[in-house]
Amino acid sequence: MPNYSKTTVKSLFQWLLLLVLIRSVGEHLATMEQVHVVTGGFYGVGEIVGRSYHEKRCQMGQPSHIWHVLPVRDNQVCHLAAAL
């Protein structure tokens, strides 16, 4: 059995608690009338909220209104930011 430090165990425990909290946000949003979800479309919190929202709506037999908005990088804006 691996020997994990207390810090590693604490971090893992905190991540698991956060995961439960994030999933519950998506599930709660799914139970509300006229709620549509928009995420940033990346892995992490947005994906977890969106997925849990969608799964709960499907369980309820309701349509899932979710959009993932993926950004497009503007090279001019990137050059301006690098100049600062």
- Which pLDDT score, from 0 to 100, does residue 73 have? 60
Whether 4 has a pLDDT exceeding 80, the answer reads no
Q: What are the sequence ranges of the domains in the chain?
A: 6-83
d(CA 29, CA 63): 13
- Which pLDDT score, from 0 to 100, does residue 74 have? 57
> Cα 25 to the chain's mean position, in Å?
10
pLDDT tens digits along 29-78: 999 988 999 988 778 888 899 999 999 999 999 999 988 887 766 565 55
- Which pLDDT score, from 0 to 100, does residue 12 have? 86
**pTM across the whole model:** 0.70
Structure tokens at 83: 């100049």
Query: What's the rounded mean pLDDT across residues 2-25?
Result: 86
